[in-house]
């Protein structure tokens, strides 16, 4: 009989009877049966949701991007129907619009035409809604050279799907300031008479546009 001997690799080191064996005293984490260990603390999803940022709402609150300057005052005369109404924004309740008005092309010409300055009035109408805006324009608010524009901007609370928007522009003259007293003039007991009241505002032009909510 021939006996074949096959050498097998050692599977483990032999244990010496005199060697101490360390036994772990901690308990292994429980498994959910899928091979992943369960964390010892639970997750609070409510707190996580409360701290999350609503990016859609934040995006809607941002200012609109800068657009091309649509107003070209070159060759235009002051206080004329020179520019369109611009619908700049809207939602389901409000319509935001503005109208530019050219009030001067230079300070000298403005003072010659309006010595005391003027008040520009915009009566804005959209459906049953009406709003009146005013703006004072004096020599100190007009550029010495070059055009001076003012803008009337409104947010009309008109929820209609479509509607019209009308600006009626009026101008009233401000009283001319009294002249400076002459120190060399003889003193009189009577004060100078008050200046006459300015005339009522006059209509300059009206501009209308139509909007449609998509």
Residue 107 host element (H or E): helix 107-113
CATH number of 79-177+198-214: 2.60.40
pLDDT digits (tens, 9 = 90+) for 137-196: 999 999 999 999 999 999 999 888 888 999 999 999 998 877 777 777 777 767 777 777
Least confident window among 3-17, 81-95, 128-142:
3-17
> pTM for this structure?
0.65
The DSSP line for 78-92 is: TTSS-S--EEEEE-S
If one compares 88 and 194, the residue with the highest pLDDT of the two is 88
Burial 90-108 (b: 16+ CB within 10 A, else e): beeeebebebbbbbbbbbe
C-alpha span between 175 and 180 (Å, rounded): 15
User: Per DSSP, what are the bridge partners of residue 17?
Assistant: none
Residue 176 host element (H or E): none
């Amino acid at each position: 009989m021939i006996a074949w001997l096959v050498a097998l690799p050692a599977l483990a080191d032999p244990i010496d009877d005199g060697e101490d064996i360390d036994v772990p005293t901690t308990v292994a984490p429980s498994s959910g049966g899928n091979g992943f260990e369960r964390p010892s603390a639970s997750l609070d999803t409510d707190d996580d949701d409360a701290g999350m940022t609503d990016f859609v709402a934040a995006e809607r609150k941002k200012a609109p991007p800068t657009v091309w300057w649509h107003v070209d005052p070159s060759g235009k005369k002051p206080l004329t129907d020179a520019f369109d109404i611009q619908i700049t924004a809207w939602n389901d309740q409000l319509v935001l619009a503005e109208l530019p008005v050219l009030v001067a092309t230079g300070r000298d010409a403005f003072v010659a035409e309006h010595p005391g300055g003027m008040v520009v009035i915009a009566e804005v109408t959209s459906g049953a809604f009406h709003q009146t805006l005013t703006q004072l324009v004096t020599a100190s608010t007009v550029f010495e050279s070059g055009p001076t524009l003012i803008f009337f901007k409104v947010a009309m609370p008109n929820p209609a799907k479509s509607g019209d928007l009308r600006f009626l522009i009026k101008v009233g003259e401000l009283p001319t300031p009294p002249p400076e007293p002459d120190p060399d003039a003889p003193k009189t007991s009577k004060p100078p008479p008050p200046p006459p009241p300015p005339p009522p505002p006059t209509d300059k032009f009206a501009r209308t546009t139509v909007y449609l909510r998509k």
